[in-house]
Structure 1
Amino acid sequence: MNARQQSILQTVIDKGRMSVTDLARMTGVSEVTIRQDLNLLEKQNYLRRTHGFAVPLDSEDMETRMMNNFSLKRELAAFAASLVSAGETVFIENGSSNALLARTLAERGDVTIITVSSYIAHLLKETPGEVILLGGIYQKKSESMVGPLTRQFLQQVHFSKAFIGIDGWQPETGFTGRDMMRTDVVNGVLEKGCEAIILTDSSKFGAVHPYTLGPVNQFNRVITDSGLAASNQLLLEQSGLHVDIVQRP
């Protein structure tokens, strides 16, 4: 890694997201050279590229995450939406696939959506669907509500299905999350005993993070894509989960 690439990486980490154009202006080289640098840094697992931008590997920026594999996530959201009937009330947690699901359902206008994500609530402001945003401590990076107040609000509402995002899964650990406070909210949702559905792309399977979601018997279903290894699908099904595989576009 040369000095320019080190500077690019540090800037992306500090800013959270940088465009190719801004990086070219900052370093005084062409956009072609910047793309070559970003290709190398991504290949070496220092950052991720997405639609003209570079972001850190652990970026929490929802817009960035949504645009990464957008067409796949849209297909996942469309399948998940097909499981929701008119008149239902559903809980939709954080995450880019869940945000697309929320928009799909809200545009139908026949579903009530409960969420802890202020990003999702804002995304739906022009749609006809009814949205209930639960309160709590505002976690700025994830644009989500967390903490004991959120837990209390969860006790005051009822829903038939909950769509949950995950950060990782391994056979030994089950489903895991990277953030303790958001994981606690999910576990509060699971205590409600509704139909709990994991909605995630297959890249999360094989990763592991510190905080446990579950236990696994509190979940009912997993919706993911055809990148899921057959061995992992079998293990999930042996745990009692129904697994829906959406083909990659």
Structure 2
Amino acid sequence: MDMNSRQQNILQLVNERRTISVSELARISGVSEVTIRQDLNILEKRSYLKRIHGSAVAYESDDVDARMLTNFQLKKELAEYAASQVNDGETVFIEGGSTNALLARHLAAMKKVTLITVSHYIANLLKDTECDVIILGGLYQKNSESVVGPLTRSCIQQVHFNKAFIGIDGYIAETGFTGKDMMRCDVISAVLAKGVETIALTDSSKFGQIQPYPLASTGQINRVITDNFLSKDYQQQLRQKGIQLDLVGDDRQHAYPD
């Protein structure tokens, strides 16, 4: 990403608050407004954020680099825990998203596994590792750096894996798991149809959000790995659906079996 630590902190603040003034960024960062404006110029040129009337505004973007910096430490904890649930010698499908990208890096460094992915971003992260990577074909979505569509579905049907890790964009009881992107949801539905252990890896902020595209009910998400800020109501809903729930964070990890 080639950003200094101050620019990374600025981007994380912008992504978390959605909009923040130059003066507040200067106060939090302990540098002058002139320096903040220079940082924002750099970040805007790289399409990480927008500048409007003396403030920085987050992009509604699928850019994985930008999303990676939102709640980075929490996502890292989730990824490390998820990696501990994978055994040496397994073949693992990783769908995409920032937390799953961290998971892929961790697996490639720590385990002897084969990784299958639709994410060119994830495949590129692993180019200097010894891990075997199988990247599937399809229509290339430039923002998310992933492939989707009928060819991708066909590829998923042709490969075999022990576990699948997916991302979700929303969950409420009435609709179940949902996504922002219809084509990406189609890919996840193809994974669910294979009937292997499928694990949603996500931070708890996605629960309570309503997105337009439901995941097909041809298969079941077997397990959810999320942080322990997840409300008791959602914990109960997931357990009632027979979904194993792993809560991670603050050195407290709880697993609720099926």
2:167 counterpart residue number: 165
Aligned residue pair count: 215
| Structure 1 position 107, deviation (Å) | 1.1
Deviates more, 1:94-103 or 1:213-222: 213-222
| Structure 1 position 158, deviation (Å) | 0.2
> Do the aligned partners of 2:193 and 2:219 also contact (CA within 8 Å) in 1?
no
2:145 counterpart residue number: 143
2:43 counterpart residue number: none
- Structure 1, residues 58-82: CA drift from partner, whole Å, max 9, x if none? 2211011111111100100011001
> Do the aligned partners of 1:72 and 1:248 also contact (CA within 8 Å) in 2?
no
Give the whole-Å Cα distance in 1 for the aligned partners of 2:132 and 2:96. Answer: 17
Give the whole-Å Cα distance in 2 for the aligned partners of 1:157 and 1:217. Answer: 17
Deviates more, 1:223-232 or 1:54-63: 54-63
Unaligned runs of 5+ in 2: 1-13, 15-21, 27-31, 41-48, 252-258
Give the whole-Å Cα distance in 1 for the aligned partners of 2:211 and 2:132. Answer: 34
Q: Is 1:76 aligned with 2:69?
A: no
2:176 counterpart residue number: 174
2:232 counterpart residue number: 230
Please tell me the root mean square deviation across aligned C-alpha atoms, in Å: 3.1
1:88 counterpart residue number: 90
1:184 counterpart residue number: 186
| Structure 1 position 56, deviation (Å) | 2.8
| Structure 1 position 34, deviation (Å) | 6.4
- Structure 1, residues 90-121: CA drift from partner, whole Å, max 9, x if none? 10011111000000011125000000000000
| Structure 1 position 57, deviation (Å) | 5.3
| Structure 1 position 214, deviation (Å) | 3.9
| Structure 1 position 216, deviation (Å) | 8.8
Superposition misfits of 4+ residues, deviation over 6 angstroms: 32-35
TM-score by length of 1: 0.78
2:8 counterpart residue number: none
2:11 counterpart residue number: none
TM-score by length of 2: 0.76
Give the whole-Å Cα distance in 1 for the aligned partners of 2:240 and 2:111. Answer: 37
Give the whole-Å Cα distance in 1 for the aligned partners of 2:219 and 2:249. Answer: 26
Indicate the SS of the match to 1:218.
coil
Unaligned runs of 5+ in 1: 1-11, 13-19, 25-29, 39-46
> Do the aligned partners of 2:226 and 2:246 also contact (CA within 8 Å) in 1?
yes
Give the whole-Å Cα distance in 2 for the aligned partners of 1:201 and 1:135. Answer: 28
Indicate the SS of the match to 1:145.
strand
Indicate the SS of the match to 1:162.
strand
